[in-house]
Amino acid sequence: MAPLDGSAIPLTSIGDEGIAVVNSNGNVVTVSGNVISAVGTRGISIDTAANAIIRGNLVSGCNQEGILVQSSDGTVITGNNLSANSASATNTYSAIKCSSSTRLVVADNNINGTSAIKHKYGFEMDDASRSIEFKGNSMTSTANGYGTDWFNYAYGKGIGTISGIRKQFTGSTAPVTGTWSVGEDTIINTSPVPGGASGWVYTAQGTPGLWKGYGIIAP
């Protein structure tokens, strides 16, 4: 299957997806470098695929999710810019959503919105998804990015039956709110100073629980 690279996909009729891949029949699908704007439903939809790569796409103003992955294994979603999707109903659809999928890598994506058009979550997944690596993503605050939360399994939204999640965030301090997962959640320090910590790792359950610094920087 040929890669879907470098396409510009503009406004289409309601009900259309920008790029849709259904049942890749074992072929590796690469969707990269596309500009997708204001399509009727989802910007990029991957359904029943193995080892798909969604990389470096600009997805904005779509009526539903920016990227939706369903019933797939080994998908890598990296380096995408998702802006002001959920345009048909603010705070209803997420920038990236994964359903019934395994071995996902969600890394280095930039997610933002406007005060009028917000994603529901920056990243959303259901409890049938497994083994998620989530790292290095940038999400703007509730003012202009998401209406409900940045990650729907952080802040007490049901880590529950999800297994194998590795969540890596960035920040200038350790969190003081939210419910996190021991040994799985880390914060990289964006304001490092000599003698300070390179980041923080979650070590004891609670709300917010106990965070400890790691990687002390030489004075």
Taking only the tens of pLDDT, the chain with its 219 residues reads: 345 554 444 333 334 888 988 888 778 889 999 999 999 899 999 999 999 999 999 999 999 999 999 999 999 999 999 999 999 998 889 999 988 888 888 888 888 888 788 888 888 887 667 777 777 777 765 555 555 555 554 322 323 333 445 566 777 888 777 667 787 778 888 889 999 999 999 899 877 789 999 999 998
- Rounded to whole angstroms, the Cα distance separating 178 from 176 reads 7
Angle at the Cα of 153 from the Cα atoms of 34 and 179, rounded to 5 degrees: 140
Domain ranges (residues) in the chain:
4-168, 172-178+188-219
pTM for the structure as a whole: 0.69
Token pair belonging to 98: 């994964």
Cβ–Cβ under 8 Å, residues 44 and 54: yes
Burial class (CB in 10 A: 0-12, 13-18, 19+), 136: middle
